[in-house]
Copies of this chain bind each other. A is one copy, B any other.
Amino acid sequence: MGGDRAPDEIVAGARQVAEQTGITVALVGRPGAMGDTGDLPCFPASEVIGMDDDPGQGVRRKKDSSLVRAAEAVRDGRAMAMVSAGNTGATMASALLRMGRLPNVIRPAIATPIPNLHRAWPTVLLDSGANAECTSPMLVQFAQMGAAFARKRYGVERPRVALLSIGEEKSKGTPLEKETHAQLAAGAGGSGFDFVGNVEGRDFFDDSADVVVTDGFTGNVALKTMEGTLRFLIGALTEILSRPEAAEAAAALYPQLLPLAANLDPDSTGGAMLLGVDGVCVISHGSSSAAAMVNAITAAHDLAVGGLVEALAASVTPAPVPDGAGATERA
Protein backbone atom coordinates (compact mmCIF):
# COMPACT_ATOMS: atom_id res chain seq x y z
CA MET A 1 0.00 0.00 0.00
CA GLY A 2 3.02 2.29 0.41
CA GLY A 3 5.09 4.36 -1.97
CA ASP A 4 4.40 7.17 -4.39
CA ARG A 5 3.51 4.72 -7.15
CA ALA A 6 1.51 2.21 -5.09
CA PRO A 7 -0.28 0.00 -5.66
CA ASP A 8 0.25 -0.39 -9.43
CA GLU A 9 4.04 -0.45 -9.68
CA ILE A 10 4.45 -2.35 -6.42
CA VAL A 11 2.03 -5.09 -7.45
CA ALA A 12 3.47 -5.24 -10.98
CA GLY A 13 6.98 -5.74 -9.57
CA ALA A 14 5.77 -8.41 -7.17
CA ARG A 15 4.01 -10.29 -9.98
CA GLN A 16 7.11 -10.09 -12.18
CA VAL A 17 9.30 -11.62 -9.48
CA ALA A 18 6.80 -14.40 -8.83
CA GLU A 19 6.45 -15.23 -12.53
CA GLN A 20 10.11 -15.04 -13.39
CA THR A 21 11.76 -16.64 -10.37
CA GLY A 22 9.20 -18.81 -8.64
CA ILE A 23 9.69 -16.89 -5.39
CA THR A 24 6.36 -16.74 -3.56
CA VAL A 25 5.50 -13.08 -3.05
CA ALA A 26 2.62 -12.21 -0.74
CA LEU A 27 0.97 -8.80 -0.88
CA VAL A 28 -0.10 -7.14 2.37
CA GLY A 29 -2.90 -4.63 2.16
CA ARG A 30 -6.56 -3.80 1.82
CA PRO A 31 -8.27 -6.51 -0.25
CA GLY A 32 -9.78 -4.94 -3.33
CA ALA A 33 -7.57 -1.84 -3.12
CA MET A 34 -4.50 -3.37 -4.74
CA GLY A 35 -5.68 -3.68 -8.33
CA ASP A 36 -5.03 -6.84 -10.31
CA THR A 37 -3.00 -9.02 -7.97
CA GLY A 38 -3.10 -12.11 -10.23
CA ASP A 39 -2.28 -15.32 -8.42
CA LEU A 40 -0.38 -13.68 -5.57
CA PRO A 41 -1.46 -14.58 -2.04
CA CYS A 42 -2.67 -11.61 0.01
CA PHE A 43 -2.35 -11.00 3.74
CA PRO A 44 -5.24 -8.67 4.59
CA ALA A 45 -4.67 -5.37 6.41
CA SER A 46 -7.42 -2.78 6.65
CA GLU A 47 -5.33 0.29 7.47
CA VAL A 48 -2.56 2.29 5.78
CA ILE A 49 0.15 4.39 7.43
CA GLY A 50 0.51 7.27 4.98
CA MET A 51 3.76 8.82 3.76
CA ASP A 52 3.17 11.86 5.96
CA ASP A 53 1.94 10.05 9.08
CA ASP A 54 4.04 10.18 12.22
CA PRO A 55 5.86 6.82 12.25
CA GLY A 56 5.59 6.08 15.97
CA GLN A 57 1.94 7.12 16.26
CA GLY A 58 1.07 5.31 13.04
CA VAL A 59 2.48 2.01 14.24
CA ARG A 60 0.91 2.32 17.70
CA ARG A 61 -2.53 3.33 16.47
CA LYS A 62 -2.88 1.44 13.20
CA LYS A 63 -2.39 -2.11 14.39
CA ASP A 64 -4.11 -3.48 11.30
CA SER A 65 -1.96 -1.52 8.87
CA SER A 66 -0.11 -3.18 6.00
CA LEU A 67 3.28 -2.29 7.49
CA VAL A 68 2.50 -3.73 10.92
CA ARG A 69 0.94 -6.86 9.42
CA ALA A 70 3.93 -7.39 7.12
CA ALA A 71 6.34 -7.22 10.05
CA GLU A 72 4.13 -9.63 12.00
CA ALA A 73 4.17 -12.07 9.08
CA VAL A 74 7.97 -12.14 9.29
CA ARG A 75 7.91 -12.45 13.07
CA ASP A 76 5.44 -15.36 12.88
CA GLY A 77 7.34 -17.19 10.17
CA ARG A 78 4.67 -16.74 7.50
CA ALA A 79 7.13 -14.70 5.47
CA MET A 80 10.92 -14.75 5.18
CA ALA A 81 11.34 -11.03 4.61
CA MET A 82 9.42 -7.77 4.22
CA VAL A 83 9.84 -5.11 1.53
CA SER A 84 8.26 -1.64 1.71
CA ALA A 85 8.33 1.47 -0.48
CA GLY A 86 6.17 3.30 2.04
CA ASN A 87 6.84 5.58 5.02
CA THR A 88 10.49 4.88 5.94
CA GLY A 89 10.12 5.76 9.61
CA ALA A 90 7.01 3.59 9.97
CA THR A 91 8.71 0.70 8.16
CA MET A 92 11.56 0.89 10.67
CA ALA A 93 9.21 1.22 13.63
CA SER A 94 7.07 -1.73 12.50
CA ALA A 95 10.09 -3.95 11.99
CA LEU A 96 11.66 -2.91 15.28
CA LEU A 97 8.50 -3.27 17.37
CA ARG A 98 7.17 -6.47 15.79
CA MET A 99 10.36 -8.39 14.88
CA GLY A 100 12.43 -7.05 17.77
CA ARG A 101 16.14 -6.30 17.94
CA LEU A 102 18.82 -8.91 17.51
CA PRO A 103 20.69 -9.80 20.74
CA ASN A 104 23.21 -7.13 21.84
CA VAL A 105 22.12 -4.63 19.16
CA ILE A 106 21.77 -1.18 20.73
CA ARG A 107 19.94 0.29 17.72
CA PRO A 108 19.19 -0.97 14.20
CA ALA A 109 20.66 1.08 11.35
CA ILE A 110 19.79 1.69 7.71
CA ALA A 111 22.45 0.51 5.25
CA THR A 112 22.37 2.06 1.77
CA PRO A 113 24.48 0.96 -1.21
CA ILE A 114 26.35 3.72 -3.05
CA PRO A 115 27.25 2.85 -6.67
CA ASN A 116 30.91 2.48 -7.50
CA LEU A 117 32.47 2.52 -10.96
CA HIS A 118 35.85 1.16 -9.85
CA ARG A 119 34.58 -2.31 -8.95
CA ALA A 120 31.59 -4.63 -9.16
CA TRP A 121 30.12 -3.93 -5.71
CA PRO A 122 28.84 -0.73 -4.08
CA THR A 123 30.00 1.02 -0.90
CA VAL A 124 27.65 0.42 2.02
CA LEU A 125 26.81 3.57 4.00
CA LEU A 126 25.29 3.22 7.45
CA ASP A 127 23.55 4.64 9.36
CA SER A 128 21.82 6.55 6.60
CA GLY A 129 18.97 7.84 8.71
CA ALA A 130 17.56 5.55 11.41
CA ASN A 131 19.24 7.28 14.37
CA ALA A 132 19.83 11.03 14.31
CA GLU A 133 21.76 10.70 17.59
CA CYS A 134 24.41 8.05 17.99
CA THR A 135 27.03 6.93 20.49
CA SER A 136 30.38 5.37 19.67
CA PRO A 137 29.31 1.87 20.83
CA MET A 138 26.49 2.15 18.29
CA LEU A 139 28.95 3.11 15.55
CA VAL A 140 31.18 0.16 16.43
CA GLN A 141 28.16 -2.11 16.01
CA PHE A 142 27.31 -0.41 12.70
CA ALA A 143 30.82 -1.34 11.55
CA GLN A 144 30.20 -4.97 12.57
CA MET A 145 26.79 -5.13 10.89
CA GLY A 146 27.92 -3.27 7.77
CA ALA A 147 30.81 -5.69 7.32
CA ALA A 148 28.55 -8.72 7.78
CA PHE A 149 26.13 -7.23 5.23
CA ALA A 150 28.86 -6.49 2.65
CA ARG A 151 30.06 -10.07 3.01
CA LYS A 152 26.61 -11.66 2.65
CA ARG A 153 25.20 -9.33 0.03
CA TYR A 154 28.21 -8.62 -2.16
CA GLY A 155 30.63 -11.41 -1.32
CA VAL A 156 33.32 -9.08 0.04
CA GLU A 157 35.35 -11.57 2.06
CA ARG A 158 37.19 -9.10 4.25
CA PRO A 159 35.39 -5.75 4.14
CA ARG A 160 37.34 -2.54 4.63
CA VAL A 161 35.41 -0.36 7.07
CA ALA A 162 36.00 3.40 7.27
CA LEU A 163 34.67 6.11 9.57
CA LEU A 164 33.21 9.26 7.96
CA SER A 165 34.90 12.40 9.28
CA ILE A 166 36.25 15.78 8.16
CA GLY A 167 39.88 14.78 7.75
CA GLU A 168 42.00 11.66 7.62
CA GLU A 169 43.74 12.24 10.94
CA LYS A 170 42.30 10.50 14.01
CA SER A 171 42.13 13.88 15.73
CA LYS A 172 39.54 15.17 13.24
CA GLY A 173 35.82 15.43 13.89
CA THR A 174 33.64 15.72 16.95
CA PRO A 175 34.20 13.71 20.13
CA LEU A 176 31.94 11.03 18.60
CA GLU A 177 34.32 10.44 15.68
CA LYS A 178 37.46 10.69 17.82
CA GLU A 179 36.16 8.15 20.31
CA THR A 180 34.82 5.81 17.63
CA HIS A 181 38.11 6.02 15.73
CA ALA A 182 40.02 5.11 18.89
CA GLN A 183 37.73 2.17 19.62
CA LEU A 184 37.82 0.77 16.09
CA ALA A 185 41.59 1.27 15.85
CA ALA A 186 41.94 -0.64 19.14
CA GLY A 187 40.03 -3.57 17.63
CA ALA A 188 36.72 -3.03 19.44
CA GLY A 189 34.85 -4.23 16.35
CA GLY A 190 36.46 -7.68 16.38
CA SER A 191 38.22 -9.53 13.62
CA GLY A 192 35.50 -9.58 10.96
CA PHE A 193 36.75 -6.55 9.04
CA ASP A 194 39.70 -4.21 8.54
CA PHE A 195 39.33 -0.70 9.94
CA VAL A 196 40.97 1.60 7.38
CA GLY A 197 40.60 4.86 9.30
CA ASN A 198 38.68 8.02 8.40
CA VAL A 199 37.31 8.91 4.99
CA GLU A 200 35.82 12.24 3.88
CA GLY A 201 32.72 13.10 1.90
CA ARG A 202 34.72 13.28 -1.30
CA ASP A 203 35.78 9.61 -0.97
CA PHE A 204 32.34 7.95 -1.25
CA PHE A 205 32.80 7.04 -4.90
CA ASP A 206 36.43 5.97 -4.56
CA ASP A 207 37.68 2.47 -3.86
CA SER A 208 38.93 3.40 -0.40
CA ALA A 209 36.39 1.40 1.64
CA ASP A 210 33.62 -1.18 1.32
CA VAL A 211 31.66 0.11 4.31
CA VAL A 212 31.42 3.69 5.62
CA VAL A 213 30.11 4.21 9.13
CA THR A 214 28.56 7.42 10.52
CA ASP A 215 25.65 8.64 12.65
CA GLY A 216 22.20 8.74 11.03
CA PHE A 217 22.08 12.54 10.81
CA THR A 218 25.34 12.89 8.91
CA GLY A 219 24.64 9.78 6.83
CA ASN A 220 21.26 11.08 5.77
CA VAL A 221 22.64 14.51 4.85
CA ALA A 222 25.47 12.90 2.84
CA LEU A 223 23.13 10.54 0.98
CA LYS A 224 20.66 13.27 0.10
CA THR A 225 23.51 15.58 -0.93
CA MET A 226 24.71 12.90 -3.37
CA GLU A 227 21.17 12.51 -4.67
CA GLY A 228 20.74 16.27 -5.14
CA THR A 229 24.13 16.70 -6.78
CA LEU A 230 23.55 13.84 -9.24
CA ARG A 231 20.07 15.13 -10.06
CA PHE A 232 21.48 18.63 -10.59
CA LEU A 233 24.22 17.53 -12.98
CA ILE A 234 22.13 14.98 -14.85
CA GLY A 235 19.40 17.60 -15.23
CA ALA A 236 21.85 20.11 -16.68
CA LEU A 237 23.25 17.48 -19.04
CA THR A 238 19.82 16.34 -20.18
CA GLU A 239 18.87 19.94 -20.88
CA ILE A 240 21.93 20.35 -23.10
CA LEU A 241 21.37 17.05 -24.91
CA SER A 242 17.74 17.89 -25.61
CA ARG A 243 18.55 21.05 -27.60
CA PRO A 244 17.96 20.68 -31.35
CA GLU A 245 21.58 21.40 -32.19
CA ALA A 246 22.69 18.57 -29.90
CA ALA A 247 20.42 15.94 -31.45
CA GLU A 248 23.21 14.11 -33.27
CA ALA A 249 25.51 14.23 -30.27
CA ALA A 250 22.70 12.96 -28.06
CA ALA A 251 22.00 10.05 -30.40
CA ALA A 252 25.67 9.11 -30.33
CA LEU A 253 26.01 9.50 -26.59
CA TYR A 254 22.89 7.97 -25.11
CA PRO A 255 23.89 4.36 -25.81
CA GLN A 256 27.03 4.99 -23.79
CA LEU A 257 25.40 7.07 -21.09
CA LEU A 258 22.74 4.49 -20.39
CA PRO A 259 25.02 1.93 -18.70
CA LEU A 260 26.31 4.73 -16.49
CA ALA A 261 22.79 5.84 -15.65
CA ALA A 262 21.80 2.25 -14.85
CA ASN A 263 24.71 1.99 -12.47
CA LEU A 264 23.60 5.15 -10.68
CA ASP A 265 19.92 4.31 -10.74
CA PRO A 266 18.67 3.74 -7.19
CA ASP A 267 16.15 1.31 -8.70
CA SER A 268 18.94 -1.10 -9.58
CA THR A 269 20.49 -1.35 -6.14
CA GLY A 270 17.74 -3.34 -4.44
CA GLY A 271 16.96 -0.73 -1.83
CA ALA A 272 18.25 0.11 1.60
CA MET A 273 18.29 -2.49 4.37
CA LEU A 274 17.37 -2.19 8.02
CA LEU A 275 20.11 -4.06 9.88
CA GLY A 276 19.85 -5.19 13.49
CA VAL A 277 16.23 -6.38 13.66
CA ASP A 278 15.29 -10.06 13.89
CA GLY A 279 14.22 -10.41 10.26
CA VAL A 280 15.00 -9.18 6.78
CA CYS A 281 13.54 -5.73 6.06
CA VAL A 282 14.20 -3.91 2.78
CA ILE A 283 13.33 -0.21 2.60
CA SER A 284 12.74 0.82 -1.01
CA HIS A 285 12.71 4.38 -2.25
CA GLY A 286 9.29 6.04 -2.10
CA SER A 287 9.35 6.53 -5.86
CA SER A 288 10.08 2.83 -6.53
CA SER A 289 9.05 1.48 -9.93
CA ALA A 290 8.16 -2.12 -10.75
CA ALA A 291 11.80 -2.68 -11.77
CA ALA A 292 12.96 -1.38 -8.39
CA MET A 293 10.55 -3.71 -6.62
CA VAL A 294 11.88 -6.67 -8.62
CA ASN A 295 15.39 -5.90 -7.40
CA ALA A 296 14.30 -5.22 -3.83
CA ILE A 297 12.22 -8.40 -3.53
CA THR A 298 14.93 -10.52 -5.11
CA ALA A 299 17.53 -9.06 -2.75
CA ALA A 300 15.25 -9.65 0.26
CA HIS A 301 14.71 -13.28 -0.79
CA ASP A 302 18.39 -13.95 -1.41
CA LEU A 303 19.41 -12.43 1.92
CA ALA A 304 16.79 -14.36 3.85
CA VAL A 305 17.81 -17.64 2.20
CA GLY A 306 21.48 -16.75 2.57
CA GLY A 307 21.22 -16.27 6.31
CA LEU A 308 21.78 -12.52 6.64
CA VAL A 309 20.05 -12.27 10.00
CA GLU A 310 22.09 -15.11 11.45
CA ALA A 311 25.29 -13.52 10.14
CA LEU A 312 24.34 -10.17 11.67
CA ALA A 313 23.50 -11.77 14.99
CA ALA A 314 26.88 -13.50 15.03
CA SER A 315 28.75 -10.30 14.16
CA VAL A 316 27.49 -7.99 16.90
CA THR A 317 29.25 -8.01 20.26
CA PRO A 318 27.79 -6.48 23.42
CA ALA A 319 28.43 -2.79 23.97
CA PRO A 320 31.18 -2.14 26.53
CA VAL A 321 28.72 -0.08 28.56
CA PRO A 322 25.06 -1.25 28.70
CA ASP A 323 23.03 0.53 26.02
CA GLY A 324 25.95 2.88 25.43
CA ALA A 325 25.05 4.89 28.53
CA GLY A 326 27.70 7.38 29.48
CA ALA A 327 29.32 7.17 26.07
CA THR A 328 29.89 10.20 23.91
CA GLU A 329 26.78 11.23 22.05
CA ARG A 330 26.42 13.64 19.13
CA ALA A 331 23.48 15.61 20.39
Contact = CB atoms under 8 A, between A and B. Distances in A.
Contact of A221 (B222, B237, B241): B222
Nearest to A223: B201
A270 to B, nearest CB: 21
A202 B248 CA distance: 32
Contacts of A206: 228
Given A166-B129, A233-B230, A248-B252, A200 B221 contact: yes
A232 B132 CA distance: 28
Interface stretch (A8-16, A58-66, A151-159, A173-181): A173-181
Given A132-B166, A176-B331, A240 B257 contact: yes
Interface string A241-254: 10101101110110
A201 B225 contact: yes
14 contacts: A166-B220, A174-B330, A175-B331, A200-B228, A202-B225, A202-B228, A205-B232, A222-B225, A225-B229, A236-B260, A237-B260, A240-B256, A249-B249, A330-B330
Contact of A204 (B177, B223, B229, B256): B229
- The complex is assembled from copies of this chain, and their number is 2
Interface residues of A, number: 56
Given A201-B222, A201-B227, A224-B202, A166 B217 contact: yes
Contacts of A204: 225, 228-229
Contacts of A177: 217
A268 to B, nearest CB: 16
A202 B233 CA distance: 12
Interface of A: 117, 129, 132-133, 164, 166, 172-177, 200-206, 214, 216-218, 220-234, 236-237, 240-241, 243, 245-246, 248-250, 252-253, 256-257, 260, 328, 330-331
The 8 closest A-B pairs by CB, nearest first: A201-B224, A202-B228, A201-B225, A249-B252, A205-B232, A249-B249, A229-B229, A166-B220
A174 B221 contact: no
Contact of A201 (B228, B234, B328): B228
Contacts of A229: 204-205, 225-226, 229-230, 233
A36 B322 CA distance: 64
Contacts of A200: 220-221, 224, 228
Given A200-B220, A237-B237, A248-B249, 8 more contacts: A164-B221, A174-B330, A201-B221, A202-B227, A233-B233, A240-B253, A240-B257, A246-B256
